[in-house]
Structure 1
Amino acid sequence: MYWDVKVVKSLPDYCIYVEIEDGRKGIFDLKPYLDHGIFRELKKPAYFNQVGTFSGR
């Protein structure tokens, strides 16, 4: 499934806020993924906090 992401913002406690072009939005908790694969890098607070507003197309 492909989602056209409109906005992504970092939140406290390893959560992100996401808005998708079709109007859906919500908060995604990344904590369960931080010990797996590429998500391990996000454990570094300075790296995680680089998440900001993302403009799709």
Structure 2
Amino acid sequence: MKAGYVSRRHADRNDMTRYYSRSPSLHLKGHWLEAAGFGTDTPVVITVEQGQLLIRIVAE
């Protein structure tokens, strides 16, 4: 897996495009997520540290 990017359109009040910006992006998908306990609509918290992301299920 590689980090990619997403483009975002920035518009003015008249919905005229002013510019686009790019942001880094990761898209996680697959049956392995559900097998790990991350089913659809599972609330998560993401902890960001240098060089790693920790994704945990929110304790209820």
Calculate the TM-score normalised by the size of structure 2.
Answer: 0.27
More helix by share: 1
Calculate the TM-score normalised by the size of structure 1.
Answer: 0.28
More strand by share: 2
Structure of higher CA gyration radius:
2
